[in-house]
Amino acid sequence: MALRLLLGCIAALLAMGVLAVAGARERRTSTVVYALALLATALALLLALGVLLAGAPALRLTLPIGVPWLGAHLRLDALSAFFLVVINLGGAMASLYGLGYGAHEEAPARVLPFFLAFLAGMNLVLLADDAFTFLFSWEFMSLASWALVMAHHRRSGNAGAGYLYLLMASFGTLALILAFGLLAGPAGGYEFAAMRAAEPSALMGTAVLALALLGAGSKAGIVPLHAWLPLAHPAAPSHVSALMSGVMTKVAVYGFVRLVFDLVGAPLWWWGAIVAFIGGVTAVLGVLHALMEHDLKRLLAYHTVENIGIIFIGLGLAAAFAANHMQAAAALALTAALFHVFNHSVFKSLLFFGAGAVLGATGERDMERLGGLIHRMPRTAFAFLVGSAAISALPPFNGFVSEWLTFQAILLSPALPQWLLKFLVPAIGAALALSAALAAACFVKAFGVTFLGRPRSDVARRAQETDRFSLGAMFVLAALCLVAGALPGYFIDALGPVAQALVGVHLPAQRGVDWLTIVPIARSRSSYNGLLVLLFVALSAFLAAEAIHRFASKRLRRAPAWDCGFPDASPMTQYTAGSFSQPIRRVFGSVLFRARERVHMAPPGAAQPSQLHVDLRDLLWETLYLPPARFVAALARFFNRAQFLTIRAYLTLVFGALVALLMVLAVWQ
Amino acid sequence: MQFVQMLLVLAAAPLLTGYVRKVKAHILRRQGPPLLQPYRDLLRLLKKDVVLAESASWFFRAAPYLVFAATWVAAALVPTFATGLIFSHAADVIAIVALLGSARFVLALAGLDVGTSFGGIGSSREMMIASLAEPAMLMVVFTLSLLAGSTQLSFIAAALQAPEVGLRVSLAMALVALIMVALAENARIPVDNPATHLELTMVHEAMILEYSGRHLALIELASQVKLVLYISIIACVFLPWGIAIAGAGVAAYLAGIALYAVKLAAAGLALGVFETAIAKMRVFRVSDFLGAALMLGLLATLLRFVSAQIG
Amino acid sequence: MDRLAFDVAHLCAGALVLVSFMLLYQDRLTGLINTFAVHALVVSVSVAWQAYIQQAPHLYITAAIALGIKALVIPLALHRIIRRLGIHRTIEPVVSIGQTMLAGIGLVALSVMVMLPVTAQAGTLAREDLAFALSVILLGLLMMISRRNAVSQVIGFMSIENGLILAATGAKGMPLVVEISVAFSILIALIVIGIFLFRIRERFETVDIHLLHEHRGEQP
């Protein structure tokens, strides 16, 4: 029943999409559409949550549409239900945000229908139970999001971003088609049930893993397939950026998990090594790229890459544990990865909403022209601060809990017998710790340069607070960050059925543990109580404030900034994003990005300013993307000559083809 | 017992700072400020007005309380003279490191709040140092947890007291790495000079340049508590003798407190001698220094992973 | 007692690896020579302890030779050489120190990965002594290839020899004759290298190896 209702919600979204095309010209259409989308996604969220918490066996449905001899198989099991919760939460919040943001959308006809189609497509991917439905919904989702990326196609850079996105999406879908083809085998059993029953050989399993990494991984954004992400995600409107970064990447993770853990079945230990290694490299490279950026949305997009890396580290560890029959540890690693999926969608959406609010208020995405927004947009600043603290894995927020669980999984790894894993896992642990510390540095930069300090331009000086719907969406997500950080036990219990379905066991029930502590393995080993930490810190701060105000002094007066006695009225003397990241750029960037600084000093007495240039090169782009692009361009130029031949030349070509085919026919017999 | 520990840590922190200053002065053949001078400084600051820059926001005013609270809570969770603290199951070593990270996050943001260049210098350098010091600390934590089979500090302390641990290479490497990280995190020479008045050499002092009055008092107290915290971690893990088991009786507690005071004094003496003996490094040499600490921690963890006997 | 013997030996071997990393970290010549003196000191302590627990008195002489020659005479001689040559006090590494140390970690991992499965039959102490000794040898080689200064290459070469001594004393029974011959050969090598350094300095005013490359015979 729940499955039919979910399908009803999806159908409603699609229908609204069609209607929105018709009525897009009017002012109030966007409000109505977003409100209805909010209702539909909220309903889907509640349904999925109900199914997940009830722990019932999988629901199935077969519709007679689609491919004639196959139909459309749909299935709602624990894994789908969890990801449906994540996606519809993001969708609902984006719709709520859109209620306010959509009012100043300049091309609503290009955004509204595709927004709904995008939501519908994502939901459908999660429900698909056969290869055709899955691939169809996957492509539908990609095309809808491509249309959204191209919504403002006249802005510079957006067209190129859309083109690259389309290329990478097609490449990913091709990989997935091949993967499903391999799994279906010569018998052609395209239903997932048939694929689950079949036992693939080790070679085929490895091929499917590689194709899944290429296909699902490129949409998730693992290195080196991430290049489209920082270009495409910022190009879309802000609520769509939030959906793409926070939610669509999770659909890709779902695809990967479904293919590798569910359809292929028993993973091999070195698959885990490969996936975890890719995750580690992705995490570190993602955050280092983010540190070099000063475009707010692009910084957030690179951070998505980093967090996807963290999720893949957890998935790789889970595969390695499962291959060695250490089911409890596999459940821990898997729960850590999936909890991070939820957490990331929450705080990344929150951060993109904040960036969208800033963009709407000032028209600027470049941090170097912002500053001092905490005075003009205090509520947005507060929500963004909560999101920054959450993504930097600081207690008592939720980012810390999933990172803590991943560390606990790493600490269980010495029991793995394979030597390669024994050397790889500590290195991955170090990479994870490094990326967490760098993420904190990056968000000090992002929040500090954008919201704190003094305004660096007129638009920053005149910014206004955003509307209440956007603020509402941001505050709901911020509250969720705090709740998931303080009461993680409930979330871990909710993930129990998913872990049970994929690796056979689930973590010990957290509900009964006293004081709401979470104990993932055993009490003698480690435990964490987010609520107590939060209360402890809040109480200490409050006590300190009260004691000091009562017994010492409460007086305060304002004066110009001290600045060591040399106050400078110009806000240009404060640190910018580039100067803030300069120490880290020198330490890490001089090798990885060939970062070089060139200084042109104006001669003494001259009136023009000195200049500092920072050169950064993306070596992955230069070695992996540009050569094939140049090769294809050269090939195309070569074959382009065929456009300008004479009539006699075309006739010769036709004649040559005919003769060649006849020769083949002659030899074949 | 938990509350006694919290108050003890709070009371001992300024005394330790005064003691270190006295040691450094005596080595330089000076008298130095009195031992109780930090207490007097704090009281004086608490009574003064706060002079707030015109461009400072509510975050600037709230930050000292948050920094102090996070550091104090973290220090309260480290067993100093007795194990079995009530809240020790709420947060393990990883959470303690992350709480200190929260405090640093808030302080670095506060440095950027007023919009001066000095705050920016402090914040950016602090985050660079933290980006290497925090992973190094986590590697040390991993080594200790792999040896003790737990990430709870009380269990680690108990496990390392057991005789079958012995002298291990990974423990030695972890100790060296931990000392290097402790020097960096507490803004001590060779990473940062806590007594400098030259802005270009500042890291921690530059972040808090605009603070005054009770805010400055809280931040100073927080950094003193942080020093006590790191010394307590080193003492609890590597010099665990004398830590009373929970419920052992008042005599055991008093002995524990006395031994803890001895450990603090010894550490203060070592710190004072070390700070006087070497010079501060260039800022970009600090990354090599902390990179070495990270490598040592990684090596120690690797040795633990590879074999139970080796390392 | 047996436990203590094991622990101290194992700690000395690990300390030697630690000091090898410290050798990689140094960027000034005087610091490098002093660290090498510590390296030789740790080797002599380790050999002396092995002499104690294996009850092999001839190893005491080995330890004394390591202490006397490598921890005292050679560092003092090197200090005099660099003062006479007046060569530049900092050592330019080929790649940055951070990357060199990262490569060092990889080498330690490699030597552990090679040694532990191969020596599965031997006793634990011998196994790890061999693993650590191989690490010290590889780290010494890394030092030789990642520094541009001739004196640092000499020191790298001598730290390789210390690693060999650690390996040899870990397994029981190393005769004294071998040690004396090895020690003398080291001394002679040092004298030869010292003479070379003087000649190089006279001709080219520097001992930077990189600059010497241009004067090799094959290139016109």
Q: Is C113 on the interface with A (CB under 8 A)?
A: yes
Q: Which chain A residues in 426-455 lie under 8 Å from chain B, judged by CB atoms?
A: 426-427, 429-430, 433-434, 436-438, 440-441, 443-445, 447-449, 452-454
Residues of B near C (Cβ–Cβ under 8 Å) read 166-170, 172-173, 176, 287-288, 291-292, 295-296, 298-299, 302-303, 306-307, 309-311
Nearest residue of A to residue C116 by CA position? A419
pLDDT for B203: 86
Mutation target for C interface from A284, A418, A419, A587: give the one with most C CBs within 10 A.
A419
For residue range A307-358, what is the model confidence (pLDDT) as tens digits? Answer: 999 999 999 999 999 998 888 889 999 999 999 999 999 999 999 999 999 9
Nearest to C98 among B288, B307, B311 (CB): B288
- Helix H or strand E segment including A581: none
For residue range A85-144, what is the model confidence (pLDDT) as tens digits? Answer: 999 999 999 999 998 887 777 777 888 888 989 999 999 999 888 888 899 999 999 999
Question: Do B288 and C97 lie within an 8 Å CB cutoff?
Answer: yes
End-to-end CA distance of chain C: 66
Q: Is A415 on the interface with B (CB under 8 A)?
A: no
Residue A414: cis peptide before it, omega within 30 degrees of 0: no
Nearest residue of C to residue B286 by CA position? C98
Between helices C2-25 and B169-185, what is the axis angle to 10°?
A: 50
Judged on CB neighbours under 10 Å (0-12, 13-18, 19+), A313 is: buried
pLDDT for C88: 58
Nearest to C113 among A423, A590, A591 (CB): A423
Chain A residues within 8 A of C109 when measuring between CB atoms: 423
Question: Do A553 and B49 lie within an 8 Å CB cutoff?
Answer: yes
Nearest to B295 among C11, C102, C131 (CB): C102
Chains that touch B (3 or more CB pairs under 8 A): A, C
Chain B residues within 8 A of A411 when measuring between CB atoms: 142, 145-146, 151
CB distance A578 to A299 below 8 Å: no
Nearest residue of B to residue A408 by CA position? B151
What is the signed CA dihedral for C68, C69, C72, C75, rounded to 10 degrees?
A: -170
| Average pLDDT for A149-166 | 88
For residue range A4-49, what is the model confidence (pLDDT) as tens digits? Answer: 777 777 887 777 777 777 776 676 778 888 888 898 889 889 888 8
Strands A611-615 and A596-600: antiparallel
Q: Is B95 on the interface with A (CB under 8 A)?
A: yes
Mutation target for A interface from C107, C113, C118: give the one with most A CBs within 10 A.
C113
CA distance C147 to chain B (A): 16
When pLDDT is cut at 50, 70 and 90, the band that residue A242 belongs to is very high
Question: Do A423 and C117 lie within an 8 Å CB cutoff?
Answer: no
CA distance C186 to chain B (A): 29
Q: Which chain B residues in 202-261 lie under 8 Å from chain A, judged by CB atoms?
A: 209-210, 213-214, 218
User: How many Å apart are CA A140 and CA B29, to the nearest integer?
Assistant: 79
| Average pLDDT for A428-456 | 93
CB distance C126 to C170 below 8 Å: yes
For residue range C197-217, what is the model confidence (pLDDT) as tens digits? Answer: 776 777 666 667 676 666 666
Mutation target for B interface from A444, A461, A546, A584: give the one with most B CBs within 10 A.
A444
Which carries the bigger pLDDT value, residue A400 or residue A202? A400
pLDDT for A513: 67
Nearest to C101 among B166, B295, B307 (CB): B295
pLDDT string in tens for chain B (311-residue length) = 778 888 888 999 999 999 999 999 999 999 989 999 999 999 999 988 899 988 889 999 999 999 999 999 999 888 888 777 777 777 889 999 999 999 999 999 999 998 888 889 999 999 999 999 999 999 999 988 888 888 888 888 888 777 666 567 888 889 999 999 999 999 888 888 887 777 777 888 888 888 988 999 999 999 999 999 999 999 888 888 777 777 777 888 888 888 889 999 999 999 999 999 888 888 888 888 998 999 999 988 888 877 655 54
Nearest residue of C to residue B174 by CA position? C18
ipTM score here?
Answer: 0.93
pLDDT for A423: 86
3-class secondary-structure state, position B184: helix
Q: Is B174 on the interface with A (CB under 8 A)?
A: no
Chains that touch A (3 or more CB pairs under 8 A): B, C
Question: Do B68 and A562 lie within an 8 Å CB cutoff?
Answer: no
Q: Which chain C residues in 6-25 lie under 8 Å from chain B, judged by CB atoms?
A: 6-8, 10-11, 13-15, 17-18, 21, 25
Give the burial string for A471-482 (b: 16+ CB within 10 Å, else e).
Answer: bebbbbbbebbb
CA distance B80 to chain C (A): 28
Question: Do A419 and C113 lie within an 8 Å CB cutoff?
Answer: yes
Question: Do A561 and B54 lie within an 8 Å CB cutoff?
Answer: yes
User: How many Å apart are CA A125 and CA B106, to the nearest integer?
Assistant: 41
Nearest to B169 among C10, C124, C127 (CB): C10
Mutation target for B interface from C97, C114, C127: give the one with most B CBs within 10 A.
C97
CA distance A499 to chain C (A): 34
CA distance C97 to chain A (A): 11
CB distance B135 to A431 below 8 Å: no
Nearest to C3 among B166, B292, B309 (CB): B166
pLDDT for C73: 83
For residue range A217-237, what is the model confidence (pLDDT) as tens digits? Answer: 989 999 888 989 999 998 888
Q: For residue A507, what is the DSSP state?
A: P
pLDDT for A556: 87
Q: Is B5 on the interface with A (CB under 8 A)?
A: no
pLDDT for B201: 77
- Helix H or strand E segment including A516: none
Question: Do C117 and A591 lie within an 8 Å CB cutoff?
Answer: no
CA distance C96 to chain B (A): 9
Mutation target for B interface from A391, A411, A449: give the one with most B CBs within 10 A.
A411
Cα-flanking dihedrals φ and ψ of residue A93, to 5°? -65, -40
Chain C residues within 8 A of A587 when measuring between CB atoms: 98
Task: Please state, in angstroms and as integers, the Cα–Cα distance from residue C148 to each residue in A278, C31, C82, C216, following that order.
Answer: 35, 16, 15, 16
Name the pTM for this structure.
Answer: 0.89
Q: Is C120 on the interface with A (CB under 8 A)?
A: no
Q: Is C122 on the interface with B (CB under 8 A)?
A: no
DSSP calls for A144-199: HHHHHHGGGTTSTTHHHHHHHHHHHHHHHHHHHHHHHHHHHTTTT--BHHHHHHS-
- Helix H or strand E segment including A62: strand A59-63
User: How many Å apart are CA B33 and CA B19, to the nearest integer?
Assistant: 9
For residue range C109-166, what is the model confidence (pLDDT) as tens digits? Answer: 888 888 877 777 767 667 778 888 889 999 998 888 888 777 787 788 888 888 888 8
How many contacts does B have with C, using Cβ atoms within 8 A? 68
CA distance B310 to chain C (A): 6
Both structure tokens of A184? 């279906």
Q: Is A399 on the interface with B (CB under 8 A)?
A: no
- Helix H or strand E segment including A600: strand A596-600
Task: Please state, in angstroms and as integers, the Cα–Cα distance from residue A579 to each residue in A179, A208, A492, A574, C166, following that order.
Answer: 46, 45, 41, 9, 49
pLDDT for A400: 93
Contacts (Cβ under 8 Å, ≥6 apart) of C47: C59, C62, C63, C66, C165, C166, C169
